[in-house]
Amino acid sequence: MDTMTVVEANNGFDTRFPAKEDLSLPYRQLFPLITKAANTPFHAMLPHRIKQNIVGLKHVLSRYLGERFQVLYAMKTNRSAALVKAAAEEGIGIDVSSLEEFQLALTQGVCGRDCSLSGPFKSVEFLTLALRQNARIVVDSDEELLQIQNLAVSIGKTARVLLRWNAEQPHTRFGMNTVKLKAASLVADSLSNIELEGAGFHLSGYCPLERGKALSDLLDAADALRYGADIRWKVINIGGGYPLRYVEEATWRRFQNAIDRQDFVAGRMPKSFYPYWHPDTLETAVEKVLIESGNAERLKANNIELSVEPGRALTDGAGFTAFEVLGTKTTNAGDHCVVVKGLSFSFSETWFNSEFIVDPVHLPASQETTKSTNPVRAYIAGQSCLEEDVLTYRKVPFSQMPKAGDLLVFNNTAGYLMDLLETRFHGLPIPNKVVLDNKEDSFSIEEVRG
């Protein structure tokens, strides 16, 4: 690429929805080298940003709880080794949901005791490594509890367990209701090779008051067990599900007011959208959880450690994704379509009947293409033979039609967008992860996993 000049849409042409921050801006001089070394598409990882987010969260927790807290990064959000290593360097743990995630965490310097296993009915290999590494195991059911006990006995280890409460959500397949939770606590307390540490939950949605109420209810359960059976929980885990801001508030309000079915190919407008702006941040949401019902004081009074497992919110600002344009066409319906190298499986939002509303940044391959403007609106598709291989059904406004060799950069994609659905469909390679780490003159390429 000769240059990396941004092509902006004309003020009078449609409504733009830019990212809150263009994360690619400091690194564009490296793009010609990156595209040669890593090919396209590529995911750029910014591990210094996850460190900043960890520091901010720790500050809030320490203000309310002193040292009685633990932060874990939910690795399912993004399995970049650089992000895991950054988390380890900041002294936090990792929430792992598979043997492979656990092994990666250990190789990046995370202490096994600082890891927590989640998910229903973990494999024997996964549990065995957890027992040998003294990791915490989140138990999904009383049946799994007995399975873990038997395995622990067979290899002569003691399992540190946390029972998963379903927060009385009627349609979830995970966890136990309050009655079963209390019963499982009694059973766990009686088992020879089980060390019951406490309980935890995970809620969908981003309402801090709901999460605060759930924490208060779980503290009530802890009180009942302490007074009724002398069982003392040491830990309560309130899971993940914390908000972040992809765009400014004005942009989000403008999107809500302006967007219409006609802005999407074949009217494929999602029924709902992820909250790309939220009145709370990770820090203010956690603060509200702690304030609700006197939760912070109750935790301290009962000497219970609070464990939190942010995923997406910890990766806020920690990466962006660049796709190379292969060409453009006009469909039979008269829509403009930009076809990029790679697959929408590496940019997964549309596969969940949703849409990433943040406009990509258009970086032309040459300076000449920026001299004239001919505004168009186009949706963006991958290169596969699947009709559904679409990165955005929304007709994105461009001041000129992208051309072959141009780059489209999507900002803030580290949270769930990069590798949740990655596949080698058609034999295409999985995109490389390029680690920039606050260095504007160098980069490294991660080993491809999966």
Catalogue the active-site residues. 385
Query: Which tokens in the block code for residue 388?
Result: 């559904």
* Residue among 363, 345, 343 at smallest CA distance from 409: 363
The sign of the CA dihedral 198, 203, 207, 210 is negative
Q: How many CA atoms lie within 13 A of 219 on its CB side?
A: 24
What does the angle CA 390 – CA 393 – CA 398 come to, to the nearest 5 degrees?
105
Query: Which tokens in the block code for residue 375?
Result: 């505004």
Q: Which amino acid is at 3?
A: T
Instruction: Identify whether the C-beta of residue 380 lies closer than 8 Å to the C-beta of residue 398.
Output: no
Query: What secondary structure, in 3-state letters, does the chain show?
Result: CCCCCCCCCCCCCCCCCCCCCCCCHHHHHHHHHHHHHHCCCEEEECHHHHHHHHHHHHHHHHHHHCCCEEEEEEHHHCCCHHHHHHHHHCCCEEEECCHHHHHHHHHCCCCHHHEEECCCCCCHHHHHHHHHHCCEEEECCHHHHHHHHHHHHHHCCCEEEEEEECCCCCCCCCCECHHHHHHHHHHHHHCCCEEEEEEECCCCCCCHHHHHHHHHHHHHHHHHHHHHHCCCCCEEECCCCCCCCCCCHHHHHHHHHHCCHHHEHHHCCCCCCCCCCCCCCHHHHHHHHHHHHHHHHHHHHCCCEEEECCCHHHHCCCEEEEEEEEEEEECCCCCEEEEECCCHHHCCHHHHCCCCCCCCEEECCCHHHHCCCCCEEEEEECCCCCCCCEEEEEEEEECCCCCCCCEEEEECCCCCCCCCCCCCHHHCCCCEEEECCCCCCCCEECCCCC
